[in-house]
Amino acid sequence: MVFSSLSFLTLFLPLTLIAYFIAPRQARNAVLFAVSLVFYAWGEPVYVVLMLFSALSDWAHGLLLEKWDERPRLRCAALISSVSINLGLLGFFKYAGLVVRTLNAALGMSLSVPAVALPIGISFYTFQTMSYTIDVYRRKCPAQRDLLAFGCYVAMFPQLIAGPIVRYVTVADELRSRRESYGSFFQGVCRFVIGLAKKLVLANGAGALWETVSAQDASQLSALSAWLGMLAFAFQIYFDFSGYSDMAIGLGRMFGFTFPENFRYPYLSRSVSEFWRRWHIALGDWFREYLYIPLGGNRVSVPRNLFNLAVVWLATGLWHGASWNFLLWGGYFGLLLILEKFVFGKALQRLPAFFSWLYTALAVLLGWVLFAFEDAGMGLAYLRAMLGRTGGTDAFALRQLLDSAGLLLLCAVGSTPLCAGALRRLQAARPRLHAVLTVALLAAGFVLCLIYVVDAGYNPFLYFRF
């Protein structure tokens, strides 16, 4: 699926663009919808029916909510029906196995674990369609009567597989009428190539280093080896996900859509709270808008606020995967956020910038250990290695560090706005040179990415499983 999807984006995208722009303006939603179905069916030929059912269900519920505008009980029933169907589908396909395994372990039962494959991207498109019916219920937007336009919103291939999570109200006007331009198209191309390079060059390179380290026996790793491996994993997951988000945002710009930003250099954060304002922004906004605020947000008593935060962060962890380590990961960050909010947040703000950044970096890296290992025993063994509790030597780490020094430096620079800032200054001082250099870098980057796609030996997409 990963190779097929990237092949589609890089090799067949020109055909898609040609078909889109030669089509009459009123037919462009239909072109996008058809291409998106082909894209999804390329990797999930069976589960495309599930996605279409989800879209049809929420489109129909939106019409019912509008029809029953002055009948509160029926509107409430329609909303409950929509949310129940969405959560029911997500729960069955994503969490049924976890529930059965937990019951078997806790109660000594021998229920058969459902052998259900996880539909790719189900967490993303389910949250998108849920946001639509909830916003129609809240009267934040009118119901979409055009089924084709709504299907285009749900299935739109740029952000279908791995986000960002695009709320319907964000693109409602653009689904109805949008104007493409040469400027926005070129900006989209730039953003797409940057995202593709992030994924293929930086994320895959860091992932290969992480795979090498994690394949070792954790009891034989030195502390340096363990920290090097977790740094590589941190770079892999950042450039993997932010790279796909950049590709999605860039593709959206090419087709006339403006998708929300999803990352703002999170590894520069000086607190865990700031980190989560910069990381996976669309998901954080979704949980705040549709879970945290309905629970009462922070306009409640302190105990209730603690409860609200705990629910949101446990749900955030569980959203990422049907495994207890994700729940623990969400609880870990929820606890840190609660401590920052009620205990040492003000003291943290008074620290010199380097020390507050160092605290955040260490907290995040330790959190990635929980995320990376579904097996608790393996995760605990790796944590022991990071804390220097094993007897490994540094020879392995030094060899890996020397081999990967250039890549790690590129990843570190790419995690900051240094390159973007330098290009902006060049544009202000030497616009013609900036234009020539931009085109040259884009051409070189795209050719390099094509080589990586064709010669794809190691090419995982971490967020496809969500």
Q: Do 273 and 170 have their domain in common?
A: no
Please answer whether residues 313 and 351 qualify as being in contact, where contact means their C-beta atoms are separated by less than 8 angstroms: no
Q: Is 362's pLDDT higher than 90?
A: yes
Percent of the chain whose pLDDT exceeds 90? 58
Q: Is 436's pLDDT higher than 70?
A: yes
Last residue of a domain, one of 156, 178, 200: 178
Last residue of a domain, one of 162, 178, 194: 178
What tokens were used for 433? Answer: 């040179």
Q: Do 217 and 268 have their domain in common?
A: yes
Q: Do 161 and 229 have their domain in common?
A: no
Euclidean distance between CA atoms 230 and 233, whole angstroms = 5
Q: Is 450's pLDDT higher than 80?
A: no
What tokens were used for 1? Answer: 């699926």
Confidence of residue 1 (pLDDT cuts 50, 70, 90): very low
Q: Do 128 and 250 have their domain in common?
A: no
Give DSSP secondary structure letters for 14-62. HHHHHHHHHS-GGGHHHHHHHHHHHHHHHH-TTTHHHHHHHHHHHHHHH
Q: Is the backbone of residue 164 left (phi > 0), alpha (psi -120 to 50) or beta? A: beta
CA nearest neighbour of 466 among 164, 54, 46 = 164
| Mean local confidence (pLDDT), 292-310 | 93
Whether pTM exceeds 0.95 = no
Q: How many domains does the chain have?
A: 2
Q: Which helix (H) or strand (E) holds 114?
A: none
CA dihedral 222, 228, 230, 235 (to 10 degrees): -170
- Residue range 6-37, pLDDT digits in tens: 655 666 788 888 899 999 988 999 999 998 88
Q: Do 166 and 270 have their domain in common?
A: no
Q: Is 464's pLDDT higher than 60?
A: no
Q: Is 4's pLDDT higher than 60?
A: no
Considering 61, 280, 320, 434, which one is annotated as catalytic? 320
Distances (CA, A) of 321 to 84, 116, 173, 301: 20, 14, 33, 31
Q: Is 387's pLDDT higher than 60?
A: yes
| Mean local confidence (pLDDT), 394-415 | 91
Report pLDDT for 2.
Answer: 44
Please report whether residue 213 resides in a domain: yes
Report pLDDT for 457.
Answer: 56
Q: Do 162 and 269 have their domain in common?
A: no
Please report whether residue 152 resides in a domain: yes
Q: Is 65's pLDDT higher than 50?
A: yes
Euclidean distance between CA atoms 263 and 101, whole angstroms = 35
Residue numbers of the domain that contains 428:
184-454
Greatest mean pLDDT range, 17-21, 409-413, 461-465: 409-413
Q: Amino acid identity, residue 251?
A: L
Q: Do 211 and 149 have their domain in common?
A: no
- Residue range 169-206, pLDDT digits in tens: 999 999 988 888 888 998 999 999 999 899 988 999 99
Last residue of a domain, one of 145, 178, 211: 178
Report pLDDT for 40.
Answer: 82
Give residue for tokens 């008593």.
Answer: 301
- Residue range 47-58, pLDDT digits in tens: 889 999 999 999
Helix locations, 156-222, DSSP H: 157-160, 168-176, 182-197, 204-214
- Residue range 132-163, pLDDT digits in tens: 999 999 999 999 999 999 999 998 888 877 76
Q: Is 356's pLDDT higher than 70?
A: yes
Report pLDDT for 326.
Answer: 93
Please report whether residue 340 resides in a domain: yes
Please report whether residue 236 resides in a domain: yes
Please report whether residue 20 resides in a domain: yes
Please report whether residue 463 resides in a domain: no
Please report whether residue 32 resides in a domain: yes
Q: Is 3's pLDDT higher than 60?
A: no
Please report whether residue 164 resides in a domain: yes
Q: Do 99 and 207 have their domain in common?
A: no
- Residue range 87-124, pLDDT digits in tens: 999 999 888 888 888 888 788 777 787 777 788 888 88
Q: Is the dihedral of CA 339, 341, 342, 343 positive or negative?
A: positive
- The average confidence (pLDDT) of the chain is 88
| Mean local confidence (pLDDT), 460-464 | 58
Q: Do 154 and 221 have their domain in common?
A: no
Q: Do 170 and 314 have their domain in common?
A: no
259 DSSP assignment: P
Confidence of residue 461 (pLDDT cuts 50, 70, 90): low
Percent of the chain whose pLDDT exceeds 70? 94
280 is catalytic: no
Q: Do 304 and 432 have their domain in common?
A: yes
Report pLDDT for 441.
Answer: 85
Q: Do 161 and 193 have their domain in common?
A: no
